[in-house]
Amino acid sequence: MDSALLWIHILAAIIGFIISGVVAGWTLKQAKPEALSPAFWRWQRVAQWITVILGAAGVALYLTGKRPTDPLHLLYGALALLAIILLAAFGPDRDPREFLQGWNVNPKWILFALNVFLWAMYGRGLTTGFFGF
């Protein structure tokens, strides 16, 4: 069971790293969030669900005694979950300006920054998980 959880955790991290990087690049390609296609939003949600699966497998591993060698690994996981909570405020049926409450900023840049941050958390989680740094 532990090895299956570990494989789920590792595969989710690798897949999430790739998808979140692609989604971040996709965001840059668009002039404004309204121009993002339904396919973009589907992939955005896939990245969010993969992060949830990754976190659930990580918590299960932690509870079964499989602790990461570097405690920062836990911080990166928590920050990734925070990023997907913030990303949930964006979507094809949501006006991000409501979430931003009058900020004078293009919501595309917030969406891009959150996706890059998620990508970076995946990357740091992978390096601390595989290499301990």
| pLDDT over 90 (residue 36) | no
Q: How confident is the model at residue 18 (pLDDT cuts 50, 70, 90)?
A: very high
Asked if 65 and 128 touch (Cβ cutoff 8 Å), the reply is no
Please give the residue that has the higher pLDDT: either 106 or 33: 106
Q: Are 87 and 20 contacting, i.e. CB atoms less than 8 angstroms apart?
A: no
Task: For Cα atoms 15, 35, 38, give the angle at the middle one, nearest 5 degrees.
Answer: 50
Please state the pTM of the whole predicted model.
Answer: 0.85
pLDDT higher than threshold 70 for residue 57:
yes
Percentage, residues of the chain above pLDDT 90: 49
Residue identified by tokens 């836990």 is: 74
Closest alpha carbon to 30 in 120, 102, 131, 109:
109
Q: How far is CA 21 from the centre of its chain?
A: 9
Q: What is residue 48's three-state secondary structure?
A: helix
Domains with residue ranges and CATH for the chain: 2-131 (1.20.120)
Write the pLDDT tens digit of every residue in 60-92. 999 999 988 888 889 988 999 999 988 888 877
